[in-house]
Amino acid sequence: MVVSFTGSTETGRKVMMAATMSNLKPVSLELGGKSPVLIFDDADVDKTVSRSSLVTVYNFQGEICVAFSRVYVQEGIYDEFEKKVVEKAKTWVVGDPFDPKIQQGSQTSKAQFEKILSYIELGKKEGATLLTGKKDLETREDMLISQDEIFGPVMTSRLLLPRRVSHMLRPPDAILLYLSETAFGNTVSLKDFIFDNSLITTFVER
């Protein structure tokens, strides 16, 4: 017999403890995620906006563990990406999920909805700015909104460390270390958002 659980990290720990206190049943856990996507200057911004943010974060109401909820954009296209994400988000249709014209349904419960709002408010209190199209969204990696799995349609974006040719200045290892400052992970996306194959290979090897 194997106990399989997919859900929050907090509940997963309780499942694991219960299994060890019984007859040491094997346990398979699929828990939280806070997956980043790295977007470099040579990316197709229009394609990246539709695929990196709206599709993975807003689809399924953001209730998917591999949603790209952390977006890191290189400085050369950061402003353009930010502007187009806002424009696209404003066209997103929320409503009855059984209506084929609707792109995003409701959250699973009122409690989850309120939890998502509380993360947004906490992020603002910690210094983040809610993106409205008129102001930049400034977040830090130590903010809870950047650290915890929100499990909702919330995406944080920030400037990726500038890429340099010299490994003495900005090696890929530094960027990966920077991205791993959260306890969650699941996926890191590079493919399809950049055209520099050598850069993809460099990151994969690490």
Go through the domains of the chain in sequence order and give each one's CATH number.
1-31 (no CATH), 34-205 (3.40.309.10)
pLDDT score at 136: 39
Q: Tell me, what's the pLDDT at 133?
A: 33
In the chain, the percentage of residues whose pLDDT exceeds 90 is: 3
pTM of full prediction above 0.75: no
Sign of CA dihedral 185, 190, 193, 194: positive
* pLDDT score recorded for residue 42: 81
Q: Where are the alpha helices (DSSP H) in the chain?
A: 9-21, 45-48, 78-89, 110-125, 144-147, 172-179, 197-205
Query: Active-site residue numbers?
Result: 30
pLDDT at 130: 76
| pLDDT value of residue 134 | 34
Q: What is the pLDDT of residues 54-105, one digit of tens each?
A: 566 777 787 777 777 788 888 888 899 888 888 888 888 888 989 988 888 8
pLDDT, greater one: 96 or 188 = 96
Assess contact for 153 and 104: CB atoms under 8 A: yes
Least confident of 42-46, 49-53, 151-155: 49-53
Position 14 scores a pLDDT of 93
Residue the block writes with tokens 């950061």: 78
Region 23-31 average pLDDT:
85
